[in-house]
Amino acid sequence: LINENVQPLKLPKVEVIANTLLDFPNGAAWQLLQQKAEEKGISANEMLLERPEPGIANGCDRELIYQSGRGFYRHLCYLHISD
């Protein structure tokens, strides 16, 4: 409990990446995404900063996030599909 809010502290990397992308409605490049994820301090392990985190691909496979451009990712909740 932090300031009367529940905050996760030891999430797996895939969930940390998905959680961090919620802060970027227009998506983020992998470098910025991983830097912000590390700054949040909610991961059970340190994030890689010099190359794309394998958790990004796993997040895409688990349909939590998607690749919206070259090296650019968005959370699935921001995907707008029209009929």
pLDDT for 12: 94
Report percent pLDDT > 70 for the chain: 96
Task: Establish if 24 belongs to a structural domain.
Answer: yes
Q: What is the model's pTM?
A: 0.86
Residue pair 40/20 in contact (Cβ under 8 Å)? The answer is yes
The amino acid at 48: L
Number of structural domains (the chain) is 1
Task: Establish if 3 belongs to a structural domain.
Answer: no
CATH code of the domain containing 64: 1.10.10
The conformation of residue 17, written as its DSSP 8-state character, comes to H
Question: What is the domain range of residue 18?
Answer: 13-78
Task: Establish if 2 belongs to a structural domain.
Answer: no
Alpha-carbon distances, residue 43 vs 3, 6, 28, 81 (angstroms):
20, 15, 18, 31
- What does the alpha-carbon distance between residue 66 and residue 81 come to, in Å, rounded to a whole number? 13
Task: Establish if 61 belongs to a structural domain.
Answer: yes
| 27-54 pLDDT per residue, tens | 999 999 999 999 999 999 999 899 999 9
